[in-house]
Amino acid sequence: MVLLQGRALAAERGWRLLFRDLSFELDAGGGLLLNGPNGSGKTTLIRLLAGLQPPLAGRLLWQDRPVDEDREGHRRRVAYVGHQPGIKPALTPGEQLAFEAGLQGVPAGRLAAAEARFHLTRFRDLPTALLSAGQRRRTALARLVLSEASLWLLDEPATSLDAEGEASLWALVEEHRAKGGLVVVASHGAVPLAGVARVDLAQFAPAVAPA
């Protein structure tokens, strides 16, 4: 069953057209891998799928229903981990995750599972400002364990992760897909996910006007 569908999507950033006529379909358990050179619009497409930004043209549909007709419902199905993952430097990972759990209304019992998954226990009580980039990334990804969202939007999720962290990340994504969840990953690196569709954003870049 097709859950998420993009039809002839176009987006701009700062008056510059990034891509146009981009269409895709994602089934339950499906995965979409976004490739493309820097500045081709991967992050913009991910923010557009999250409903944070409206498309310039085209439609985004969830079960054949336009997403902008039900923004409330859409944001409940989305979990987004971006370049700037919204981790407060003055809080510890433990406090950050406890806040997320409270915000999402998730039982606090899930916190231990989230911390164990990305091995946060060693640094859970240190202020995030003192953590390495990889440790911050782990904290941001641990939120996915708390989330009940069905559509995961991951923008370069493996940045600064070590091998063990990457393994945890992709295992978690595969578990999510096995349960029928959807994932969209923007990445330059290798993404070891089975059976994902690929979209190369460079193919949807607007034609350069003849000189």
Partner 1 sequence: MSAFLALSRRELLLLWRQRGEPLIALAFFLLAALVFAFGAGPDAALLQRIAPGVLWASALFAVVLSLERLFESDHAEGALDQLALSPISLPMVVAAKVLVHWLGSGFLLLLAAPLVALAYGLPWALWPTLLLTLLLGTPSLSLIGAVVAATALGARRGGVLIPLLALPLMLPVLILGVTAADAAAAGLADGAHLLLLGAALLFALPLSLVAAPAALRQALEAG
Residues of this chain that interact with partner 1 (CB under 8 A) are 13, 43-44, 47, 50-54, 75-76, 78-80, 82-91, 95, 99-100, 102-105, 127
Give me the least distance between CB of 100 and partner 1, in Å please: 8
CB of residue 104 to partner 1, shortest distance in Å: 6
CB proximity list for 4: less than 8 A, separation 6 or greater: 25, 26, 30, 49, 60, 61, 62, 151, 182
Task: For partner 1, give the closer residue by CB, 103 or 194.
Answer: 103
Residue placing its CB nearer to partner 1 in the complex, 29 or 85 = 85
Which residue number, 130 or 171, has a Cβ lying nearer to partner 1? 130
Cβ-based nearer residue to partner 1, 3 or 87: 87
What token pair was written down for 60? 């985004």
Minimum Å gap between C-beta 148 and partner 1 is: 10
Supply the minimum distance, in Å, between the C-beta of residue 51 and partner 1: 8
Name the burial class of residue 17, with classes exposed (0-12), middle (13-18) and buried (19+) by CB atoms within 10 angstroms of its CB.
middle
Which of 2, 77, 26 is closest to 184 using CA atoms?
A: 26
The 10 Å Cβ neighbour count of residue 116 is: 13
